[in-house]
């Protein structure tokens, strides 16, 4: 069932991707469908070559700079793995985490870290209205630096999660769905429930659900977004999902009932997030460094969350899905009831049943990131892959 | 006197190592003698090739992940050096140091960091009863992930020091002895004093003395373990040392007199450690996060230590050793009286005399770690080394 | 106007550099003019090769260790970039920042981190009288370790900024001047104002102005050092600048008027620093860990600084320079009035006019560091560069 390299290369050549090479990757909805398809295909090709012990180093030297403005283990390792796979060395910028830099500081720092950088991966999802804007500010500084001859090359930006989108996650999720259901076409008409779920923690970013509704509505799926009243996502992303669904021949619906969302679903994605209005207040309080205000907001928000403890992915609810066998998805780590917390997003028995599948879902992320970088770095990415394949240099030494 | 590459390759081929390839390296006593011998031989071959400016990169890409659950400079550099020598890039997991993770967190994290990892080095020596158990928990999670198709490869685990053993240290020590005395056979009948020594600090792990008595008793040595009453090591490791000695034709004895231990010794290894009963209490208090209790335990323990200030490696005591010229060993850094503390493990004059030798002892560690990884990664490790040698790619550019 | 590779290689061969290969790089004034010239030429060749997508990896494996005893973003990235360009992997020593280690600790640590290290870059500019001395202490330990057979190779030391000099900065500045004015010869007779400037912060190191006056006086320039009374640099460096100027046929003058310094200047370098007497007191107080004393010293020093708020690089002052068009230089980040602070070193309009030029000035630093390492590592550096050029291995994959 796994495609072979020849097939993949031919498919990559057929995708008319026009927005990857020499562009940044900040939002999936800035890319056309062939761009998205190519990202998946190149990721699959990279995975296949690695599996065959073929080195995919296409850089003999060069840096992949990472800027993490909040804590991260999974994404840091995914980025490091992707960079290493292509022959780039990670160099991490250790900014003062609490401080939102602007203006000259951003402009200057962007250039100072980029003299030998081929890519910069940025994660900035704490401040609503800030993360994506920051990435664009960095991008403009790099354009300027490159045009003015400060930089020999214009490093490509990879959004490793912002306040608006989480493209490396949603594309890894999409590749997982492609492999699970056999093809992107097979997703047409499938019902997916992107549902809020209870968590005892607070302030989880909106980028995962936003990324999911912004991307999966483009493949003719029946997407149902479910959350308690007051837990809205960014209105412009919801609007975009609606438009996507209309154009792709799918649907996008909102419900305030988790049960309704799960009904006959082929796929469920139960995950907690904070309401965007709370995130807005939080951003304001963080900006003012109002610690008392932040504490009070957290208290209120946790109280409000607690009213929705029944928004949990239980075995009973899973019974409502198609044949009781919907695919459970999560970006990890999940809040598992009785395991990582008393009551959380998902019952232990449900999580355990799908645990290995969520790990596989996560396993695509390094390849998705490597694919993004390779597709941004090389116009004829199929040509590069083909030559790497034919040269067949061993990743791990193989005595001959 | 240094063997040449041909001899080493032939010796490697003769060692019937059956427990290295595709296995973890967690305790030296889980390995058979030929395994141990091969680790030394491969380390020597790597050192020889590097000395001849021959690159030993056997990975074109790949990660060597490190997890340090306590502070470390020497071992971090040794691990980074070893990884680099083989062509692997280090990616460090920065866990919350104070938190003992278990269950789903370990299982999940182990997989999340391993998608492109060929090896994982773990150091976890703070909690008695925890470190080695944690490594095995990680190992089981990796087995599961590999079998279920989450991981393309099963990363090998390297114990970089746990509560029970410190194999990279004891094997570096053994290689130092092999070079100092000419061969492993030459160690037969040699008397070594593994002795407790006074230190003004507290809570030093037991893994170094345990690693020494667990390994060196296998080579027919006369091993004397010396410590004040109450400073026992883990009983099961002491038992193991006894059994080893019996089987190897050596001996294992316990004394509460440093003078007796030093008497006619060929080698002395004076080093401080905490009694395992104290380490047990400490683990309990750390688990309960009982700060007052920990403070009180430290106070008591330092008081108790202070009763044994005369357990010092002095010039006078060194006179009691064979011809007054025993080899002094230490894993570094030593507590040197009048240098790093008022009174410590060793007199300045003794340390100074053997300083360069302790540095050489330490210099084997990167090669031992690289040897472990190479022997775990390649079944025909001699074949790989031979081909690298014949290809003769320069590590440092050599114009021709 | 940019030289081609052939020309550069021939120029490199003509420079009789005698103090680079197998030496440390700690102070520019320990190097002869041909050494300095070669550093620039090799940096230019590396830049040219990279621009032509030719890999300059001359190490297949090896570590470039960095020791940063104070915060740094720019220099960390420049060092990481330089190491990567040559094929070396950075391994950072994370010392206790607050502690000045000496004696056995330095000696031992220097060896422990060097088993596979080809270079060690050190930044230590906090304690006057300490930084450069520390580097020499490390160097002596490495000599010892290498001679005694502990180390297979003697890692070369690169001064990444100390209390006395900042060679990677001053050489990047010199390369910027060479490119701006066309050649080193063209600098003869040019007037440069190295001027103190007001900053609301305190305790900025003296190494940048000292580096500038110690280096640029060697090229026949008319160097004017300007600062308020009491803001003296180290007397021995001022003395050296005087001697340099005399020998090179240039001049070195001191003034307490920023206006006088700017008068007809071809180049201005306005930058804040602390008086060396304050730095001496600060070192003493830091040593005694006298927090109250440090606070009081800072208060006094800021008060004193505030008396010289008019020491600012304004548009008006720039009008006094040659045709009102002097080249403005800065090591970045600058304290820009109304941007990064209320009143600072430079008016926003002046900085903005020269912003891109300061970025270019900074862009030479990775190449300067790489050039230092390559020139220290290879006697026939032109031969190595020529062979890399002829082999023409692509840095970034280029399908053929």
CB within 8 Å of B386: residues ≥ 6 apart: B9
Q: Given CB atoms, is C349 within the 8 Å cutoff of chain A?
A: no
N-terminal to C-terminal alpha carbon distance within chain A: 30
Is the omega angle on the peptide bond into residue C191 within 30 degrees of 0, that is, cis? no
Nearest to B363 among C60, C61, C150 (CB): C150
Q: Given CB atoms, is B104 within the 8 Å cutoff of chain A?
A: yes
Q: Which of A231-240, B64-73, B189-198 has the lowest mean pLDDT?
A: B64-73
Counting residues of chain A whose pLDDT is more than 70, the rounded percentage is: 97
Mean pLDDT of B2-13: 93
Token pair belonging to C302:
């800021």
Whether C126 and C71 have beta carbons less than 8 Å apart is answered as no
**In this structure, are strands A267-271 and A191-196 parallel, antiparallel, or unpaired?**
parallel
How far apart, in whole angstroms, are the C-alpha atoms of residue B367 and residue B385? 14
Q: Check pLDDT > 90 for residue B14.
A: yes
Q: Check pLDDT > 80 for residue A101.
A: no
φ, ψ at C160 (rounded to 5°): -95, 20
Q: Given CB atoms, is C145 within the 8 Å cutoff of chain B?
A: yes
Please tell me what DSSP assigns to residue B353.
H
Whether C145 and B359 have beta carbons less than 8 Å apart is answered as yes
Buried b (16+ CB within 10 A) or exposed e, B239-276: ebbbebbeebebbbebeeebeebbbebbbbbbbbbbbb
Mean pLDDT of B35-42: 98
Q: Given CB atoms, is A179 within the 8 Å cutoff of chain B?
A: no
How far apart, in whole angstroms, are the C-alpha atoms of residue C398 and residue C400? 6
Q: Check pLDDT > 80 for residue B95.
A: no
pLDDT of residue A400: 66
Q: Which of A287-301, B380-394, C308-322 has the lowest mean pLDDT?
A: A287-301
pTM of the entire predicted model: 0.97
Q: How confident is the model at residue A2 (pLDDT cuts 50, 70, 90)?
A: low
Neighbours of C341 (CB within 10 A): 15
Q: Given CB atoms, is C289 within the 8 Å cutoff of chain B?
A: no
Q: Please list every residue in chain A whose beta carbon sits closer than 8 Å to the beta carbon of residue C339.
A: 103-104
CB spacing of A112 vs C397 below 8 angstroms: no
Q: How confident is the model at residue B318 (pLDDT cuts 50, 70, 90)?
A: very high
Of C218, C310, C221, C293, nearest in space to C259 by CA: C310
pLDDT of residue B101: 59
How far apart, in whole angstroms, are the C-alpha atoms of residue B301 and residue B293? 12
Of A389, A385, A373, nearest in space to A65 by CA: A373
Q: How confident is the model at residue A96 (pLDDT cuts 50, 70, 90)?
A: low
Q: Given CB atoms, is C272 within the 8 Å cutoff of chain A?
A: no
Q: Check pLDDT > 80 for residue B103.
A: no
Residue B99: alpha-carbon gap to chain centroid: 24
Residue A242: alpha-carbon gap to chain centroid: 20
CB spacing of A362 vs B111 below 8 angstroms: yes
CB spacing of C77 vs A112 below 8 angstroms: yes
Whether C74 and A112 have beta carbons less than 8 Å apart is answered as yes
Whether C110 and B334 have beta carbons less than 8 Å apart is answered as no
Q: Check pLDDT > 90 for residue A22.
A: yes
Question: Biggest alpha carbon distance in chain C?
Answer: 67
At A151-205, the pLDDT tens digits run 999 999 999 999 999 999 999 999 999 999 999 999 999 999 999 999 998 888 9
Q: Which of C58, C77, C362, C366 is the best substitution to test chain A (most A C-beta atoms within 10 A)?
A: C77
Mean pLDDT of A107-132: 93
Mean pLDDT of A12-28: 98
pLDDT of residue A120: 98
Q: Check pLDDT > 50 for residue B99.
A: no
At A310-352, the pLDDT tens digits run 999 999 999 999 999 999 999 999 999 999 899 999 999 999 9
Q: Given CB atoms, is B97 within the 8 Å cutoff of chain C?
A: no
> Mind telling me how many Å the CA of B121 is from chain A's nearest CA?
15
Nearest to B395 among C59, C104, C108 (CB): C59
pLDDT of residue A97: 43
Of B242, B195, B191, nearest in space to B214 by CA: B242
Whether B211 and B169 have beta carbons less than 8 Å apart is answered as yes
- Sheet-wide strand order for A327-328: A251-255, A222-226, A191-196, A267-271, A327-328
How far apart, in whole angstroms, are the C-alpha atoms of residue A85 and residue A79? 10
> Mind telling me how many Å the CA of A115 is from chain B's nearest CA?
22
pLDDT of residue B96: 57
User: Going from the N-terminus, what domains does chain C have, and what CATH number goes with each?
Assistant: 5-165+365-391 (3.40.50.1370), 169-362 (3.40.50.1370)
pLDDT tens for chain C, 400 residues: list them: 567 999 999 999 999 999 999 999 999 999 999 999 999 999 999 999 999 999 999 999 999 999 998 778 889 999 999 999 999 999 999 765 434 456 778 999 999 999 999 999 999 988 888 899 999 999 999 999 999 999 999 999 999 999 999 999 999 999 999 999 999 999 999 999 999 999 998 888 999 999 999 999 999 999 999 999 999 999 999 999 999 999 999 999 999 999 999 999 999 999 999 988 888 898 899 888 899 999 999 999 999 999 999 999 999 999 999 999 999 999 999 999 999 899 999 999 999 999 999 999 999 999 999 999 999 999 999 999 999 999 999 999 987 6
pLDDT of residue B313: 98
Mean pLDDT of A359-385: 98
Please tell me what DSSP assigns to residue B29.
G
Residue that wins the pLDDT comparison between B229 and C104:
B229
Residue with tokens 């997703």: A187
Q: Given CB atoms, is C115 within the 8 Å cutoff of chain B?
A: yes
At B263-316, the pLDDT tens digits run 999 999 999 999 888 888 988 998 888 999 999 999 999 999 999 999 999 999
> Mind telling me how many Å the CA of C325 is from chain A's nearest CA?
20
How far apart, in whole angstroms, are the C-alpha atoms of residue B77 and residue B83? 10
Counting residues of chain A whose pLDDT is more than 90, the rounded percentage is: 86
- Sequential DSSP letters for A214-260: HHHGGGT-EEEEE--TT----HHHHHHHHHHHHHHT-EEEEES-HHH
Average pLDDT, chain A: 94
pLDDT of residue A283: 87
> Mind telling me how many Å the CA of A143 is from chain C's nearest CA?
12
Average pLDDT, chain B: 94
């Amino acid at each position: 069932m796994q495609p072979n390299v020849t097939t993949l290369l031919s498919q990559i050549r057929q995708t008319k991707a026009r927005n990857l090479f020499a562009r940044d990757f900040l939002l999936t909805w800035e890319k056309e469908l062939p761009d998205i398809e190519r990202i998946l295909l190149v990721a699959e090709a990279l995975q296949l070559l690695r599996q065959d012990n073929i080195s995919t180093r296409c850089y003999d030297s060069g840096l992949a700079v990472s800027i993490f403005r909040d804590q991260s283990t999974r994404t840091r390792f995914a980025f490091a793995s992707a960079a290493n796979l292509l022959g780039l060395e990670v160099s991490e910028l250790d900014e003062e985490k609490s401080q939102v830099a602007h203006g000259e500081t951003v402009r200057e720092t962007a250039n100072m870290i980029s003299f030998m950088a081929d890519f910069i991966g940025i994660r900035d999802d704490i401040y609503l209205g800030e993360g994506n804007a920051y990435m664009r500010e960095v991008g403009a500084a790099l354009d300027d630096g490159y045009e003015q001859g400060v930089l020999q090359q214009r490093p490509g930006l990879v959004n490793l999660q912002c306040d608006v989108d989480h493209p490396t996650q949603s594309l890894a999720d999409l590749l997982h769905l492609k492999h699970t259901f056999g093809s992107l076409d097979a997703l047409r008409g499938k019902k997916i429930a992107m549902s809020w779920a209870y968590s005892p923690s607070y302030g989880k970013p909106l980028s995962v659900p936003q990324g999911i509704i912004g991307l999966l509505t483009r493949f003719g799926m029946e997407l149902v977004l479910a959350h308690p009243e007051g837990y809205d996502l960014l209105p412009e992303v919801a609007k975009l999902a609606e438009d996507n669904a209309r154009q792709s021949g799918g649907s996008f619906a909102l419900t305030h009932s988790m049960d309704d969302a799960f009904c006959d679903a082929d796929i469920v994605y139960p995950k907690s997030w904070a309401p965007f209005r709370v995130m807005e207040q939080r951003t304001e309080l963080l900006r003012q460094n109002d610690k008392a205000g932040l504490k009070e907001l957290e208290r209120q928000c946790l109280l409000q969350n607690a009213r929705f403890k029944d928004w949990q992915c239980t075995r009973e609810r899973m019974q409502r899905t198609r044949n009781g066998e919907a695919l459970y998805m999560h970006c990890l780590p999940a809040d598992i009831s009785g395991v990582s917390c008393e009551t959380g997003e998902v019952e232990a028995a449900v999580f355990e049943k799908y645990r290995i599948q969520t790990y596989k879902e996560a396993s695509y992320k390094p390849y998705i990131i490597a694919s993004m970088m390779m597709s941004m770095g090389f116009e004829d990415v199929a040509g590069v892959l083909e030559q790497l394949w034919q040269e067949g240099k061993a990743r791990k030494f193989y005595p001959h």
